[in-house]
């Protein structure tokens, strides 16, 4: 016989769990005691449950294995809600474990008690209370299976305080050996016939292609056919964006150069698309034919109703298409490449702007120059995310961590921290607006305590810059979105990090290089100038792309 919390830890070990990120409470103390005796799982104590959830989700994003996070009942569990939505919408496998008061007898009335299982239902793939020690193995196996199954997401288990120390003779259930189904050959033939008959086909790479590591097969298909490709924000890096066939990233919702390229296509091959992302194109009844290639059937939407679907393992589907398709002389894709050339010329014209505060196009260019090909940038959410999605050339999968699903603020720093843990030998940079950084700035202490090597670039405009941009675009007065900030250099130093301040555009490249070379946590306060955002993103780009 063993106590239930010991069994839960054994089940986590059985699933290959390496870390439990979280903030325990008194209802977790049996579990914490059991975890203290594990030689295979490390507790990562964070300063807020949201940070723990973002770290667990990012661990899942990188590894494909569910990250695990821990919170107590009530306010601890509610603090995981945003992270749960982040993981589920973003397709990141994560298992949450929360505590609860005793369920067999009450000792404190309804103090701190809310129905956490019901609360988690709309934002998870699976949520259960562990009401019996004997059902822990089956519930845990199911939580991990569903978290990791396509489309990945968050699952939740609630362990009540009295169940946690109940005796049981149950044992863990071994994970099954499962493979994704192979796409139907007739569906492949239908898709190939449509592509070969196309006048101007284009490939769109979405989040699903990034998750399932399809880089090699997608690269082969692009090289075989010469068909141009673009990415969504969550599809960045699946193919090296230095490839001559790359025509851009759909960062803006519409009116960008990349949308002009899509507009020239009559057949769109949509790889791993998810309607959670802002669509890179809007389907019309008499518009381009769309071929949906994904692990899951398309979720039909007023702007997305593909005519052809190839369902099953994406990499296998791409291999089958590549083995079958013949490159066609009549494909007319030169116009798409001309659009990309115009976008690059527009980008390069602004990349050398040495104004201070720092111009966003210059910033992106300098970060790209100092980051190695396998270096990871983890972006929080703000207007700079659009600049990085458009202008930062990704070289490898999952090296540009964007959240274009829930698009929550506060995830940039924890996401970078998890990246540095998964890949300790790679350069990692968190890129945060001042607003997003301050939402989980307390995790600097966690990063220092863990001994992480990490650069944190804070883009400081003393306001919620994304909403100011939207405010200007909608013709409203600039009002209600500005605030003050602490001295970020002193703030960083108060935690024991190294603090730096950018005072000119000329000093930025050397400072970025020095911080990436230096051990420990390096924090950079970088003032930014967003004055041209409305003109460039809302007016200039639209006018130029319309001409193409």
β-pair type (521-527, 498-501): parallel
Tell me the average pLDDT of the chain: 95
- Residue 454 sits at φ, ψ, to 5 deg, of -155, 135
- Residue with more model confidence, 300 or 387: 387
Contact 262, 279 (CB under 8 A): no
Neighbours of 148 (CB within 10 A): 22
DSSP state string for 403-424: --SS--TT-HHHHHHHHHHH-T
User: pLDDT digits over 485-542, tens only?
Assistant: 999 999 999 999 999 999 999 999 999 999 999 999 999 999 999 999 989 988 899 8
Mean pLDDT of 439-447: 98
At 164 the three-state DSSP class reads helix
User: Which region, left, alpha or beta, applies to residue 358 given φ > 0 means left and ψ of -120 to 50 means alpha?
Assistant: beta
**Secondary structure of residue 67 in the 3-state scheme:** strand
C-alpha distances in angstroms, 470 versus 217, 382, 438, 466?
39, 11, 21, 6
Cβ–Cβ < 8 Å for 362, 352: yes
Joined tokens for residue 339: 């659009």
Whether the pLDDT of residue 13 is over 90: the answer is yes
Residues sharing a CB contact under 8 Å with residue 426, sequence separation 6 or more, in sequence order: 372, 374, 375, 376, 419, 420
In this prediction, residues 321-340 reach a mean pLDDT of 95
Cα–Cα distance list, 317 to 166, 221, 310, 326 (Å): 49, 11, 7, 16
Contacts of 449 (CB under 8 A, 6+ apart): 45
- Residue 132 has what pLDDT? 96
Residues 230-241 have a mean pLDDT of 95
Q: Do residues 353 and 359 make contact, with C-beta atoms less than 8 angstroms apart?
A: yes
**CA 281 to mean position of chain CA atoms:** 21
**Average pLDDT, integer, range 33-52:** 98
Residue 378 tokens read as 């983890």
CB-CB contact of 541 with 257 (8 Å): yes
Preceding omega of 413 cis (within 30 degrees of 0): no
What are the residues facing 99 on neighbouring strands? 159
pLDDT tens sequence across 108-159: 667 778 899 999 999 999 999 999 999 999 999 999 999 999 999 999 999 9
Q: How far apart are CA 352 and CA 364, in angstroms?
A: 11
* Sequential DSSP letters for 464-511: -HHHHHHHHHTT--S-S-B-----HHHHHHHHT-EEEE---TTTHHHH
Q: What is the pLDDT of residue 216?
A: 92
pLDDT at 178: 85
Cβ–Cβ under 8 Å, residues 500 and 526: no
pLDDT at residue 108, rounded to an integer:
66
Tens-place pLDDT, residues 382-409: 999 999 999 999 999 999 999 999 999 9
For residue 472, pLDDT over 80 is answered with yes
What's the pLDDT tens digit per position in 171-222?
Answer: 999 998 888 899 999 999 999 999 999 999 999 999 999 887 789 999 999 9
């Amino acid at each position: 016989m063993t106590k239930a919390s010991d069994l839960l830890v054994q089940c986590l070990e059985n699933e290959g769990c390496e870390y439990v990120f979280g903030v325990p409470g008194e209802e977790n103390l049996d579990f914490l005691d059991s975890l203290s005796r594990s030689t295979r799982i490390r507790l990562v104590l964070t300063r807020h449950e949201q940070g723990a959830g973002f770290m667990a989700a990012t661990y899942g994003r990188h590894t494909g294995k569910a990250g695990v996070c821990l919170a107590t009942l009530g306010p601890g569990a509610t603090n995981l809600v945003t992270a749960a939505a982040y993981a589920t919408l973003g397709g990141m496998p994560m298992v949450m474990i929360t505590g609860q008061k005793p369920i067999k007898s009450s000792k404190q009335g309804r103090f701190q008690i809310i129905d956490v299982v019901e609360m988690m239902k709309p934002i998870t793939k699976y949520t259960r209370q562990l009401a019996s020690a004997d059902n822990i193995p089956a519930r845990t196996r199911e939580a991990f299976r569903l978290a990791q199954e396509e489309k990945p997401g968050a699952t939740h288990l609630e362990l009540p305080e009295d169940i946690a120390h109940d005796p049981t003779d149950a044992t863990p259930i071994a994970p099954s050996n499962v493979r994704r189904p192979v796409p139907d050959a007739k569906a492949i033939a239908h898709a190939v016939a449509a592509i070969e008959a196309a006048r101007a086909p284009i490939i769109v790479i979405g989040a699903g292609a990034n998750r399932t590591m399809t880089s090699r097969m997608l690269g082969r298909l692009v090289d075989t056919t010469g068909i141009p490709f673009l990415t969504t924000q969550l599809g960045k890096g699946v193919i090296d964006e230095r490839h001559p066939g790359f025509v851009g990233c759909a960062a803006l919702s519409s009116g960008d150069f990349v949308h002009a390229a899509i507009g020239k296509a009559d057949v769109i091959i949509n790889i791993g698309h998810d309607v959670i992302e802002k669509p890179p194109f809007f389907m019309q009844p008499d518009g381009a034919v769309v071929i949906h290639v994904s692990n899951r059937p398309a979720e039909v939407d007023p702007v997305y109703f593909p005519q052809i679907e190839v369902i099953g393992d994406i990499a296998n589907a791409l291999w089958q298409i590549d083995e079958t398709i013949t490159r066609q002389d009549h494909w007319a894709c030169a116009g798409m490449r001309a659009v990309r050339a115009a976008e690059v010329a527009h980008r390069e014209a602004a990349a050398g702007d040495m104004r201070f505060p720092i111009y966003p196009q210059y910033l992106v260019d300098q970060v790209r120059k100092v980051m190695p090909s396998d270096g990871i940038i983890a972006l929080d959410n703000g207007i700079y995310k659009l600049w990085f999605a458009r202008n930062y050339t990704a070289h490898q999968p999952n090296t540009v961590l964007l959240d274009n699903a829930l698009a929550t603020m506060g995830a940039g720093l924890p996401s970078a921290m998890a990246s540095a843990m998964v890949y300790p030998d790679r350069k990692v940079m968190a890129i945060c607006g001042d607003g997003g950084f301050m939402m989980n700035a307390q995790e600097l202490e966690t990063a220092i305590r863990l001994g992480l090597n990490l650069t944190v670039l804070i883009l400081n405009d003393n306001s919620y810059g994304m909403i100011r941009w939207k405010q200007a675009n909608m013709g409203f007065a600039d009002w209600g979105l500005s605030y003050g900030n602490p001295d970020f250099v002193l703030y960083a130093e108060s935690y024991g990090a190294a603090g730096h301040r950018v005072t000119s555009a000329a000093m930025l490249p050397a400072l970025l290089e020095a911080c990436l070379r230096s051990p420990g946590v390096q924090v950079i306060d970088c003032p930014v100038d967003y004055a041209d955002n409305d003109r460039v993103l809302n007016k200039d780009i639209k006018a130029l792309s319309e001409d193409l």
